[in-house]
Amino acid sequence: MNKTKTKASAIAAILLTVPLVAGCAPTTVPADSGGSLSRFHDQQLQWAACADEALAASGTECAMVTVPLDYADPGGKTISVAISRIVSMDPAQRRGILQTNPGGPGGRGLGLPAILRSGMTDEVAKAYDVIGMDTRGLGKSTPVDCGVPQMTWMRSAGADRSGFDENVARAKEAADRCWEKYPDVLPHINTQNIARDVDVIRTVLGEAKTSFLGWSYGTYLGAAYSQMFPDRIDRLVLDSAPDPAKYGITMFKDMAAANENAIDDFSEWAAGRNTEYSLGSTAGEVRQGIEKLISDAALRPIQVGNYTLDDHVLPFLMYVNGVSDLEEDNQTFAQVLVQLRELAQGKNVELHPMLAGLVQAWFDTELGTGADYSATLAIVCGDSTMPTDPEWYWDEIQRQRVDQPIFAPVHHTITPCSFWRDAPPTPLTIDNTIPALQIQAVGDTRTTYEEGLGMHRAMKGSRLLTVPGRNHALFPTYGNECANAAVNQYLLDGKLPVKDVVCGK
């Protein structure tokens, strides 16, 4: 397993989701607009090496697909969607296409085919052209960039009311910036339209059916596609799925307890290595040290170059570093904590690459991450409404603080979706018997295991592979041989296990 890929997937998981809650709108758009989409279905793609050098070096090709901004008005304004592909290793044995999504929403997807191909057997690599996509509004796909400077929805409200009130102001500002810049575009950025884009891409590529593999939010997209276009799904893999019935504020709130459990799990690991890291000789001491680091930063923020890490930012660092229980990831978490402690003491240190990367991801919008934050907001707030009264969130934070001292102010705080100006489409009810292979880790901190069980119940034709450990987005980077073998076998022969499976380590 490639450690760099593991880290990349962990950081990509930062943008798993923003809180949503189901809402209604007065109109819907049919899943299939029929002949009215013929001009989009008949377009000819121009494949070429991707502009990104790393993607091009991996053998990935890129192209642009034109789709309607508004599927209810296919003769109106159009936008472009960027797609990528790694072609079958043997066209003579090619079965079809495997479309993919890395999650987020707001995770750029052009590089995912190369990651997935790295875990495929030769037989599976021969069977599929693997297709990536930057979803509408994201990356190379006619992006929206609201000028959102930070992930306001991941900023901890902190210990007092003033920090929460600042979160309210930041959330409103982010929503206002988006709507003032894109009032005609935002109503059309949502999962249902992304699923329609997936189907246009399938048609343009000349396939009667498509297979699909999604990580995280990508599983919700895959389930939505199967609900909207049930006759066009070949093989469906759902890796680390949320409960579609909780796709909203409940899903985000569920993450708080899971992330607290991850801190406890890591603390046990670190206590057994106290001679190396000096983080505490017991799990309780390690956790207490983490909580103290955060509370002390409220009074004496940690200076990292030109950036200030206070109690509003530090929980974000814990959130990202706690996503995986792989040995190398636990080591990285411990090293980051040691450096934060040294920085708090005023020492000069050469930043660990993970710490440096996360500080940049939070503060440095010159990296282009600000535009990705905007895409995340556009999708999640375009999918569902959420409570609008700030006091509701403040009360939830206070109610959860005792059991969730680090993450209650993160996962129960207000987000820009509370100030969104348009109602989403009528939400889909995911309830079908489409065959699907689902894999879920018991310690997942993003889409919790209980959430995954909800997807399993909704997708009645699915088989669930339970994977031990704490990780999010499992195939192929987590390295569980049972899960990796099951995905490869299913993609190859289309046969699901006769019953649910519990994998070993």
Q: What is the pLDDT of residues 239-257, one digit of tens each?
A: 999 999 999 889 999 999 9
Q: Which pLDDT score is estimated for 30?
A: 56
Residue 371 pLDDT > 90: no
pLDDT band at 403 (very low <50, low <70, confident <90, very high): very high
Residues 6 or more apart in contact with residue 302 via CB below 8 angstroms: 308, 309, 310, 314, 340, 343, 344
Domains parsed from the chain with CATH numbers: 41-143+185-246+426-502 (3.40.50.1820)
Predicted local distance difference test score (pLDDT) of residue 32: 59
Q: pLDDT by residue (tens digit) across 455-484?
A: 999 999 999 999 999 999 999 999 999 999
Between CA 472 and CA 258 the distance in angstroms is 12
- What is the tens place of the pLDDT at every residue in 309-357? 999 999 999 999 999 999 999 999 999 999 999 999 999 999 999 999 9
DSSP 125-163: HHHEEEEEEE-TTSTTSS-------S-GGGS---SSHHH
Residue 362 scores a pLDDT above 70: yes
Residue pLDDT, tens place only, 267-293: 999 999 999 999 999 999 999 999 999
Give the pLDDT band of residue 16 (cuts 50, 70, 90): very low
Cα(438)–Cα(456) distance, integer angstroms: 7
Tokens of 420: 């969104």
Burial class (CB within 10 angstroms; exposed 0-12, middle 13-18, buried 19+) of 25: middle
Strands 307-309 and 302-304: antiparallel
pTM of the shown model: 0.93
CA 102 to chain centre: 7
For the segment 185-214, the average pLDDT, to the nearest whole number, is 98
Q: What is the per-residue pLDDT for 367?
A: 57
Q: Per residue in 110-139, pLDDT tens? A: 999 999 999 999 999 999 999 999 999 999
Q: 382: Cβ–Cβ under 8 A, 6 or more apart, which residues? A: 186, 187, 188, 189, 190, 420, 422, 424
Is the confidence at residue 19, as pLDDT, over 80? Answer: no
DSSP string, 81-134: EEEEEE--S-GGG--EEEEEE--TTT---TTHHHHHHTTS-HHHHHHEEEEEEE
Instruction: Compute the distance between CA of residue 78 and CA of residue 326 in angstroms, rounded to an integer.
Output: 44
How many angstroms separate the Cα of 118 from the Cα of each of 8, 84, 345, 435? 14, 16, 43, 25
* Averaged pLDDT for residues 168-183: 96
